[in-house]
Amino acid sequence: MLDGNPNLLGLKPQLTHLSGTYDHTMNGLWLNAGSKVCLHMLLKRRIITFSIIAAVCVMSVWAFRFFHTLRHVPEAFAAWDTGTLCVEYLRAHNDQWPTSWDELLTVLESDKGDQFALQGVGMKDIPYDQWLKEQIVVDWDFDIKDIDDASPISPKDGATFPVVWSGANPNEMIRNYLQQEHDSQDH
C-alpha cells in the first residue's frame, strides 16, 4: 500500500522560501498558515523597528535643542538684561543714548530701577554688572536716529545672540522702543 509515495504518507515535499512556501505537488506558490504568520511578524517587526528609530530621532533632536538652549541661557539673560537697561535708560533720559557702562547702569540706581527686574541677576558668583560688561559689547556711539539698522548691542564674540525667548533680543527691544517713540511723535 505504501509504495514510497510521499503524498500517500501525507507528506508534501516543500522548500521554504522568503516569499512563501513552494508546493512541488501543485507546481505553484501557496502560503500556508505558518508562512502568513511569518509575513505578519516580519511586517510587524519592521513597523516596530521604524517606530523606534523615528522616536529616537525625534527625542535626539528635542534633547539637542533643549541642551543647546540650556547652554545659551546665561548669554540670553545677559542680552535681555542689557536690552532692558538700554530701553529704560532711553526712557529716563529723553531718548539719549548712554556713553558708557557706568552711565547705563545709573538707571538701576534711579527710581525706575526698582520697577523692572533683571532676569540674570544671581546666576553668577561675580557682580552681575561686571559679568554683563564681560559678555556684551555696546556701541556707545550709536545714533538712535538709525532705527532700521539699530544693532548697537552684540555678544563679546561678535556672533548673533542666541534666540531663547521671543522678544528678548536687545536690538529688537531697542528698535521696538525707538519705533514706538517715533510713531507716537508722528501722531
**Ramachandran class of 33: left when φ > 0, alpha when ψ lies in -120 to 50, beta otherwise:** alpha
Kindly report the pTM of this predicted structure.
0.60
d(CA 182, CA 109): 27
In a structure prediction context, what are the per-residue pLDDT tens digits for the chain, which is 187 residues long?
A: 445 554 444 545 444 445 544 444 444 444 555 566 677 788 889 999 999 999 999 999 999 988 877 777 788 888 888 999 999 999 989 999 999 999 998 888 776 655 666 766 655 555 778 888 888 999 999 888 877 776 899 888 877 777 667 777 888 899 889 888 777 776 5
**Is there a contact between 98 and 92 (Cβ–Cβ < 8 Å)?**
no
